[in-house]
Amino acid sequence: MIIPNNIQHIVILTGAGISAESGIKTFRDQDGLWESHDIMEVASLNGFKKNPDLVFDFYNARRDQLQSEEVHPNEAHLALARLEKKFQGKVTIITQNVDDLHERAGSTNIIHMHGELLKMHCKKSLKVFSISGKLNQSTICSCCREAGNLRPHIVWFGEVPYRLDDIEEELKSCDLFISIGTSGEVYPAAAFVSEVKHHGAVTIEQNIVPTKQSRLFDSQLTGPSTIEVPRLVKIILNP
């Protein structure tokens, strides 16, 4: 693996694999269930309209899990925070994850393209708020002072990911692109590696196993993120 010495902007795409070792269950398993729920029941607008109580309860439970004592940033999250702090250029994290483990590890320049579990937004004004306590149909929106207008700040199936314009600008200007813990099967994130290569960026994939996109990357690191990511960060900071 060769990393040029003149790298100025690192863009890192992270997926469920980086948080799995922190105890966060992956988004989707082989049988199409998400924490024992059919995905479309809890991660689609139709599912929310059909049974909002189920959706609220599901995300309340996921929020409780995220904030439990058992879940905390792992060595991969901490290594990326260290990279942002010590690297002389710019480091941007684009994450598909809805947890706050990057923030808790100390990273600050983060784009949550699929939303954030600890936030909600008003369906009328689209204003985003932090969640305090449980979210349900009776929760009063602080901007419109009405109940029933709030929903989890999560990108569901069929919805457009957040901040795509910002993501596009980051991809255009990066010269090192690192994909960590993502299958590369969900678009638009799956297209990021091809886009950055078009602009001449060096590309590295880190995953527990090879993916369908592995052949597109210049280098592959296979193994647990908690081992491979700190090792990669050390190489970048000490070429």
Q: How far is CA 216 from the centre of its chain?
A: 21
Residue 73, preceding bond cis, omega within 30 degrees? no
What residues act catalytically? 114
Query: What is the distance between the alpha carbons of residues 37 and 54, in angstroms, rounded to a whole number?
Result: 10
Query: What is the distance between the alpha carbons of residues 50 and 55, in angstroms, rounded to a whole number?
Result: 9
